[in-house]
Structure 1
Amino acid sequence: MFNTVLIANRGEIALRVIRTCRRLGIRTVAVYSDADAHAAHVKAADTAVHLGPAQASESYLRIDKVIAAANATGAEAIHPGYGFLSENAEFSAACEAEGIVFLGPGAEAIRIMGDKITAKNAVSQRGVPLVPGTKDAAMSNDSLVTAAADIGFPVLIKPSAGGGGKGMHAVFEPSELPAALDTARREAASSFGDDTLFLERLVATPRHIEVQVMADAHGNVIHLGERECSLQRRHQKVIEEAPSALLDEATRARIGQAACETAKSVGYRGAGTVEFIVGADRPDEFFFMEMNTRLQVEHPVTEEVTGVDLVELQLRVGAGEELTLAQDDVTMTGHAIEARIYAEDPSRGFLPTGGRALDVVFPEGEGIRVDAGLEAGQTIASDYDPMIAKLIVHAPDRGAAIARLDAALAASAVPGIVTNIDFLRTLITLDEVVSGNLDTSLIDRLDEDQLAHTASQIDRQIAAAAVLVTGGKAGTEFTGTLASADLSGAAGNLANAGGSAAASAWGRPSAWRTSRPDFRARVSLTSGGEAATVESLVDDVTIDDSGLWHVLVADTQYTARVFSDARDRSIWVSSDRGVYAFTRPQADTSLTPGLDGAEVLAPMPGSVVEVRVESGARVEQGDPIVVVEAMKMEHVLTAPAAGIVTVTAVQGVQVGLDEVLATVVDEAAADAADASTDASTAAESAN
């Protein structure tokens, strides 16, 4: 076994590998960028090496820097995790050239399976069924448009390199295909450095089933059962479970064998996942999609039902050991479900959020596992993937697993960052999910009410109390307790603001008058994009030694954890009802079309990758204006109204949340403004 292993990754997967290495007595080396200098994986490793700037292309994707770090620290092997260089054939070859073991397959297997077209050609020789689609590499957009007519709509555009849903687009009408191909090529080039695309027929009511395989260097290949990954949005997995509720035992055996044949087609070594698409209406029919030549994000559910540590198997296979498990030794016990926790806002189209974690709370207990790389105080930037944690549960059956996951999510919170935690609770309790009637479009069909994240009146009252306790000071910050804000007499502040009848009315800094003895303080708050004035009904606030707030509202006591971030004047309320962010209202930025203009705002922090119109051009409502990229996904921002556009965005520049990128002015108003300007200029000239 190895003495030292370098982990060429970050976050929760780096910590996951470190845990197994520590159990096996293996020294670990972490690598990090400027953005991760104080990250949890850097602290957990035995030693750490700085790679470069936050930009992945200058740090985590630099093969030369990672190899140099391994050589400098005496690492005999490199675990690539997933993402970054994990499926990079050049990286695998570079490790081999330096005498370093790459804990994954050889370069040739990565090349074949990394290109979905050559992968299909390889597996077809082993009798693995394929979805109808294009087979030629490097087809032009015009050729793909022509081929789509033969395949039949709808079609799915897929990048030949990479995965994770980036660059994938479903197209239902022929007229939509050219523009979708342009976008997919840009996303593929940005994410994988390769813009090669291919097309597949889009299977109706598809379910995503994948099989975990493991192969050693001695020709042994086994599978460890399947995972159901049908709950996705934008082709990005959200919930994964093992086993699938769809498959019967006969189909389970056939799909497992097909996965093993896929691995054998390229002389595979190490851990890999073979992905299949299955029509919900024909569960006995499956088609090969692709093979991921690495450990998957969702590997914990397989570990939970099989009792096998997949990272340990990777290490042992990499060290040249023969698999000690035969196929008949693999059994699946109970049911496991994984929920991916993302820094994103489901109520705003799942746009990435980012921010600073004021606290990080996850549960412990029987059947609960948390894989996370986030600590309190850590900042989530837009440089990397928005996934911040994985919550995994294991139970005797699927129903019990769903109930356990719901309870575990209810006990999870990351105040300071808008996440999808509450959405996950909504998702797993849907009738379709509980019954196992899944497909990959289920999330896309949810309506606004199901995606909404609306604070209750109680949470609004607690937020208002927090503003009153701090005296509404913009510079006040506290995390769980008020000690750090030095707010001695906090309850007195609440009373002085009108929240308690026991305080002297004359001492209240409010609008209290003798004619209105029942005056209650009013606090303006914005939550979920909606501004409202809250009349405080809070009679008392006490904060115990653990930082838990006990708030008395209309003779009923409620508890919550309350946080404040002075940087954006936000108040965060975390309770069993959910986690809600409140801000003090700023200037109104949503303008009615007219002379002032309707503004196009950045919906998330990111970078401007394309400006599609010039200032002074006339646009119609819905016309694309600016394309913003965040966390490797493009978002096209359109005109909110018809009129004349003024563009302030600059291609290649980083932008912040709600930054004004363009303004659209009503054409008549613009003409009037121009006429007024001309008249003023003429008058000045005459004078």
Structure 2
Amino acid sequence: MSAVIRSVLVANRGEIACRIIRTLRAMGIRSIAVYSDADRGHPHVALADAAMRIGPAPARDSYLSVDAVVAAAVASGADAIHPGYGFLSENVELARAADAAGLVFIGPSVVALTVMGDKIRAKRHVAAHGVPVIPGLDEPGLDDAALIAAAEGIGYPLLVKPSAGGGGKGMHVVDAPADLAGALVSARRIAAAAFDDDTLFLERLIIRPRHIEVQVLADAHGAVIHLGERECSLQRRHQKVVEEAPSPLLDEATRARIGAAACEVARSVGYTGAGTVEFLVSASDPEAFFFMEMNTRLQVEHPVTELVTGIDLVRWQVLVAAGEPLTITQDDVVLTGHAVEARVYAEDTAAGFLPSTGRLLAYEPPTGPGVRVDGGVAAGLDVSPHYDPMLAKIVAHGADRAEAIERLSAALAATTVLGVATNLDFLHDLLADDGVRSGDIDTGLIERFLGEGGGDGHHSRRESRRPGATELAVAALWLHARRWVAASASPWSAPTGFRLGVHRATEYHLEVGGVVTTVAVDGMPDRVTVAIDGQTVEAALAAGDDRSAVVELDGLSRTWRVEHDSRGVWLAEGSFSCCVREVDRREIVRAGIAAATRAPGAASPETRVPMPGTVVDVGAASGDVVEVGQLLVTVEAMKMEHRLLAATAGTVTLTVSVGDVVSLDQVVATITPSPQATVDEGATP
């Protein structure tokens, strides 16, 4: 059955919406974007031929509303809906509603979505078709007691997984029986919130696993092919960070076998369109692979497959949805060179990878041979707490793996993002790791790299680059220069340090990473002395303006990209960036008074939110006596949960309830400390 597709509503946002719209334009198909109130004016809206408001900022009221999406498609005159990935991309109800409205759903059938949308059902289904699966317990409807009773028979370590959804949300590694009950409670809560289904199952944890996924294409005429595999083992907390194609692990024989297994999975449900079959492969036994799940949609990492095959997956999604047969056979699929992709997130790696929000002051993506950037942001726009924190995907293609990694590393160093914290420097360092360079990777490498997990010591702990004296000096010098310019009309206001009596340098109180440092700057911007913590360096602003600074420190010249707003001075050099905040003297006085009223060494009695979000759990009630490290409040932001713990023992007073929306730095709990409580009893939240 064929359909005429002249216009497509793209039911998504950000970089994937932009990527789909570009292919639609190349095909001569009219594109309609949708946007929430938070995304008005974002690139995908401007790029499309038309745009429809779909609701307020919260995703549940906009991008996750089936009724709103279908209504927008009908009102805009669209012939089809492309869901992208995430949001409603694997939602059976959207597929049904689109069909009822006479719209083409650019995705697989309701049968495929139903079977593969439930991990328990999918695992049983593919096992019946001869595809190997991971040992575990996959009976639906089991409560926590039944799962705990069955766990001993599976053996530890094991993995708790939600049956619905994907992306690693709700997955927990459990090493010992004592940890299972708590993991089940957390996994059910996350699964219910994210997928409206809290069904869980257990799998035996494979030691040093590698995450290999196979891209498949299928049409409505019975043709099914695969486009090779992607290596997705570089993950942190089950979230993919860096992906590549092809995998450096598989030989040609294993590639053919795993590709055939993926095609059998797709064929078994009459799959149509683009999809991905995910497998776990043991690093110690690469010939053994186990089915994990099938993603019935486009994947975030699809660009690496497109670069090594030369095949536009979105174009084929549209053609197959219109009823066209595949004109590509398996023999036509040739993998050329190597491609590597890194996901750039708005997150503060120094603060435990907390998502970062705020206005983008600068966004300058890289260019160069073999470099592709799929982005959906622009300078001047806000990074919202309502959605995933991914800003862009930077992808590099080369003749071989080494060249692709070198090109990607250079591209990351050439990327500038200011206004939010990012993982750019972390990604750049990760690509330099010996294990990554050699291809000796697994899903636990990043934890070992960061020193967050155990491991065999094969990879060294990463020492993060943190803002230090250099960044403080650059920020102080830049502020000093701006004040010289601002004072040009009146020499009396110039920051010369002039006063009746003893000459004093101009002082700047600068905060970074929660520490306030006084920086003394003496002289004019073109040649000054900068004193920090008793150390003095000669410095000069060799060149610069409001957005850049070429700074000489003790004879060494470095170029910094600079932006400034009410939050502070934002600095970037290569892949490294930071924000240096100037602190008002009154703030220093207030902090001193507050510290003086507390017992020596006592922790702050206030528990504050590290970023905007929604309260999803409260672990105590006002009036309760809590201990150091006890869970007080859990906040969900940017699809992640953040646990706020008691920093001191005492009686707690809570100021929030489940469902409350909280802002950055908001006080959610106050503890009246016990007399003996000190900071040594526990970490600050």
Indicate if the aligned counterparts of 1:221 and 1:260 stay in contact, CA closer than 8 A.
yes
Q: Which runs of no fewer than 5 residues in structure 2 stay unpaired?
A: 453-460, 528-539, 678-685
Q: Does 1:447 align with 2:451?
A: yes
**Distance apart, 1:43 and its partner CA:** 0.6
- Please give the residue correspondences for 1:619-630 in structure 2 after superposition, counting only pairs within 5 Å: 619-630=626-637
Q: Which residue of 1 aligns with 2:473?
A: 461
Structure 1: how far apart are the matches of 2:284 and 2:645?
37
Structure 2: how far apart are the matches of 1:451 and 1:72?
54
Letter of the 1:121 partner, please give it. Answer: R
Q: Which residue of 1 aligns with 2:289?
A: 286
Indicate if the aligned counterparts of 1:423 and 1:451 stay in contact, CA closer than 8 A.
no
Q: Which residue of 1 aligns with 2:387?
A: 384
Q: Which residue of 1 aligns with 2:212?
A: 209
Q: Does 1:353 align with 2:356?
A: yes
Paired residue secondary structure (1:200): strand
> Taking structure 2 as the reference length, what is the TM-score of the superposition?
0.89
Deviates more, 1:61-70 or 1:461-470: 461-470
**Distance apart, 1:655 and its partner CA:** 1.8
Q: Which residue of 1 aligns with 2:456?
A: none
Shift in alpha-carbon separation, 1:491–1:286, aligned structure 2, 3 A: farther
Paired residue secondary structure (1:455): coil
Q: Which residue of 1 aligns with 2:248?
A: 245
Letter of the 2:508 partner, please give it. Answer: V
Letter of the 1:169 partner, please give it. Answer: H
Q: Percent of aligned pairs with the same residue?
A: 53
Structure 1: how far apart are the matches of 2:259 and 2:515?
50
Structure 2: how far apart are the matches of 1:425 and 1:577?
7
**Distance apart, 1:532 and its partner CA:** 1.9
Shift in alpha-carbon separation, 1:593–1:317, aligned structure 2, 3 A: farther
**Distance apart, 1:326 and its partner CA:** 0.5
Q: Which residue of 2 aligns with 1:571?
A: 569
Deviates more, 1:148-157 or 1:446-455: 446-455
Structure 2: how far apart are the matches of 1:492 and 1:579?
30
**Distance apart, 1:302 and its partner CA:** 0.3
- Please give the residue correspondences for 1:362-511 in structure 2 after superposition, counting only pairs within 5 Å: 362-445=365-448, 446-447=450-451, 450=462, 452-471=464-483, 489-490=485-486, 508-509=494-495, 511=497
Q: Which residue of 2 aligns with 1:611?
A: 618
Q: Does 1:532 align with 2:517?
A: yes
Q: Does 1:663 align with 2:674?
A: no
Q: Does 1:141 align with 2:148?
A: no
Q: Does 1:646 align with 2:653?
A: yes
Shift in alpha-carbon separation, 1:521–1:80, aligned structure 2, 3 A: same
Q: Which residue of 2 aligns with 1:682?
A: none
Q: Does 1:17 align with 2:17?
A: no
Indicate if the aligned counterparts of 1:525 and 1:584 stay in contact, CA closer than 8 A.
yes
Letter of the 1:536 partner, please give it. Answer: V
Indicate if the aligned counterparts of 1:156 and 1:171 stay in contact, CA closer than 8 A.
yes
Given the alignment, which residue of 633, 636, 644 partners 1:637?
Answer: 644
Structure 1: how far apart are the matches of 2:285 and 2:392?
34
Letter of the 1:405 partner, please give it. Answer: L
Letter of the 1:617 partner, please give it. Answer: D
Indicate if the aligned counterparts of 1:162 and 1:192 stay in contact, CA closer than 8 A.
yes
Structure 1: how far apart are the matches of 2:440 and 2:118?
32
Shift in alpha-carbon separation, 1:349–1:593, aligned structure 2, 3 A: farther
Q: Which residue of 2 aligns with 1:684?
A: none
Letter of the 1:260 partner, please give it. Answer: C
Structure 2: how far apart are the matches of 1:597 and 1:417?
26
Q: Which residue of 2 aligns with 1:302?
A: 305
Q: Which residue of 2 aligns with 1:164?
A: 167
Q: How many residues are treated as equivalent by the alignment?
A: 641
Letter of the 1:578 partner, please give it. Answer: F
Q: Which residue of 2 aligns with 1:477?
A: none
Shift in alpha-carbon separation, 1:280–1:515, aligned structure 2, 3 A: farther
**Distance apart, 1:660 and its partner CA:** 2.1
Q: Which residue of 2 aligns with 1:103?
A: 106
The structure with the greater share of residues assigned to strand is: 2
Structure 1: how far apart are the matches of 2:420 and 2:493?
37
Instruction: Provide, for residues 352-388 of structure 1, a one-character-per-residue CA deviation record: whole Å limited to 9, x for no partner.
Output: 1111100101111210000000010110111011111
**Distance apart, 1:337 and its partner CA:** 0.5
Q: Which runs of no fewer than 5 residues in structure 1 stay unpaired?
A: 472-487, 497-503, 671-687
- In angstroms, what is the RMSD of aligned CA positions? 2.3
Indicate if the aligned counterparts of 2:229 and 2:247 stay in contact, CA closer than 8 A.
yes
Structure 2: how far apart are the matches of 1:593 and 1:427?
41
Instruction: Provide, for residues 234-262 of structure 1, a one-character-per-residue CA deviation record: whole Å limited to 9, x for no partner.
Output: 11100000011111111111111110011
Deviates more, 1:554-563 or 1:262-271: 554-563
Letter of the 1:531 partner, please give it. Answer: V
Deviates more, 1:61-70 or 1:658-667: 658-667
Shift in alpha-carbon separation, 1:576–1:592, aligned structure 2, 3 A: farther
Q: Which residue of 2 aligns with 1:481?
A: none
Deviates more, 1:280-289 or 1:533-542: 533-542
Structure 2: how far apart are the matches of 1:553 and 1:457?
11
- Please give the residue correspondences for 1:38-53 in structure 2 after superposition, counting only pairs within 5 Å: 38-53=41-56
Q: Which residue of 2 aligns with 1:683?
A: none
Q: Which residue of 2 aligns with 1:675?
A: none
> Taking structure 1 as the reference length, what is the TM-score of the superposition?
0.89
